[in-house]
Chain A
Amino acid sequence: MMSFLTSLVNGLSLGSIYAIIALGYTMVYGIAKMLNFAHGDFIMVGCYIIFVFSSSLGLPPVLAILLAVVLCTILGVTTERVAYRPLRNAASPLAVLITAIGVSYFLENMALLIFGADTKSFTSVVPWSGLSLFNGELVIQGITVVTICISLLILAVLQLFVHKTREGQAMLAVSQDRGAAMLMGIDVNKTITLTFAIGSALAAVAGALLASAYPSLTPYTGAMPGIKAFVAAVLGGIGSIPGAMIGGLVLGIIEILSRTYISSQLADAIVFGILVIVLIVRPAGILGKNIQEKV
């Protein structure tokens, strides 16, 4: 029973990280209508920034995370401006997708060049050892508690932002009809830039949490979580903010439970297998909408 609870909590924690990454994926997809396949690598960049400032230069972790958030935001906005925006009206939507894959390789190889291929060990940004429940039978690590709380906080703030602010409403409008949004006087470029800024800032936060929970850092650290978060976003219904959260949590829990009770080698296969099943049964995802045109 306790081992099940432990797995569940670990699943929630991993799922929360996927959710934070998936939020970035889903917002960029919903608003800019593109899949930013470099999103996972923004996480890796965030991890290295924190590693440099915190582990190497000895800055307090909170400060290192803030710097990572700022620098990742700049990276995201710059990438959009330089690599994606010029292709936004390209004849084929594949152009920007392939560019995103290119950006992904570029960032991975830059990290390889600067930091080398060897694994860096990351010091957790959460020094608190955590909770010990049921006379020590259930131990919840500090980073786990922090991760779950932060992801819920991010979800709440994002929901408020999107539904209660002018910029958030502009995002909703752009996501539903870019042309009509412009006809309302919304600066579509600015709205997309803001979306990338938020997504990239979230990637930095996810990086801090991910590397604290799984403290080995390589240039490919972001790739797999990035892909899984993409799966989570699709699972939840791509474009939907609560969907990304639910998709992330479901995916994290399934992954950890599979690892514990079935096989750790098969865990990833199960995760992707579930994606296939969900897409067959519910192509728009858990909270996704099937769009029907009204004539």
Chain B
Amino acid sequence: MLLEIKNLSVYYGVIQALKGISFSVDRGEIVALIGANGAGKTTTLHTISGLIEPKAGEILFNGDNITKVPGHKRVGMGIAQVPEGRRVFRDMTVEENLKMGAYSRTDKDHSDTMSRIFDRFPRLKERRTQVSGTLSGGEQQMLAMGRALMSKPDILLLDEPSMGLSPILVNEVFDIIRSVHEDGTTVLLVEQNAKKALNIADRAYVLETGAIITSGDAEELLNDDAIRKAYLGE
């Protein structure tokens, strides 16, 4: 297992956001975490990245217990996140943002990775000297993804990559996720757009108020009546 979550419990003050959830992501998979607003999806990703400390439970990465490893060190270990709302560095240019993405790398020359990212996101190449705050929402999403890829992660955590984007851009973003995955990056995807997520994923877990209520092959979940009713709006 590349990533294993065991009995993870997270609290915000007295409110329990995650109620001892367990799940795993194998190398080479795309795993989706779906669920409604407030189900605990973002909290899960934040805890994996070390932005939040869990009250109980374990996070294993490549078999190592990283629960106590400071968040900033987890990036160098191979965990990168594209956070919800993109969170690009608004006052920095596109290129500076990408360079920040390579901050954790110990090798000095990142030009290879950057040119590969520019191949994948031609728009970013066109706008490399533009200040990121002036990019459109879709471009910012591309930048946030490119920035995360600059660290050459083993696993990419994506938090609501389709949020606030037009349907065409949503398709584009999902195509990119697929191609990143084909290049060998494992993906853990958090989405409210359950249909899109299940279409791209190998497996999925359904979160509801801090607990995993169902899990299984994405295709099975797509055909599950209860899931269709609750999350696919059918």
Contact partners of B133 in chain A: CB under 8 A: 294
Report A-chain residues with C-beta under 8 Å of the C-beta of B81: 183
Q: Measured between C-beta atoms, what is the minimum distance from B190 to chain A in Å? A: 14
Minimum distance in angstroms from A146 CB to a CB of chain B: 34
Interface on chain A toward B: helix, strand, loop, or mixed SS?
A: helix
In the complex, the answer to whether B87 meets A186 with C-beta atoms within 8 Å is no
How many Å lie between the Cα of A186 and that of B83 in the bound state?
A: 15
Identify which of B70, B90, B103 contacts A184 (C-beta below 8 A): B103
From A169, A177, A187, A295, give the contact of B87 (CB < 8 A): A177
B100 CB contacts on chain A under 8 angstroms:
169, 173, 181, 184, 186
Which of B72, B92, B96, B151: most chain A Cβ within 10 A? B72
Cα A179 to Cα B101 with chains together (Å): 13
Within the complex, what minimum Cβ distance (angstroms) separates A136 from chain B?
A: 49
Chain B positions 88 through 126: 1 when the CB is less than 8 Å from some CB of chain A, otherwise 0: 111110001001110110000000000000000000000
Q: B28 near A: Cβ within 8 Å?
A: no
Interface size of A in residues (CB-CB distance below 8 Å): 20
Asked if A188 CB lies within 8 Å of chain B CBs, one says yes
Partner of B89, one of A166, A176, A187, A295: A176
Contact residues of A between 165 and 182, Cβ < 8 Å to B = 166, 169-170, 172-173, 176-177, 179-182
Does A86 sit within 8 A of B, measured CB to CB?
A: no
B90–A169 CB distance below 8 A? no
A185 interface contact, C-beta 8 A: yes
Are B91's CB and A185's CB within 8 A?
A: no
Asked if residues B51 and A170 are in contact (CB atoms below 8 Å), the reply is: no
For A180, the chain B residues whose CB sits under 8 A away are: 83, 87-89
B140 — which chain A residues lie within 8 A by C-beta? 294
Q: Which residue of B has the minimal Cβ distance to A91?
A: B13
Extra contacts, 13 of them, besides A166-B103, A180-B89, A183-B75 (Cβ < 8 A), are A169-B99, A172-B92, A173-B92, A173-B103, A176-B89, A180-B87, A184-B103, A184-B104, A185-B72, A185-B75, A186-B100, A187-B70, A295-B137
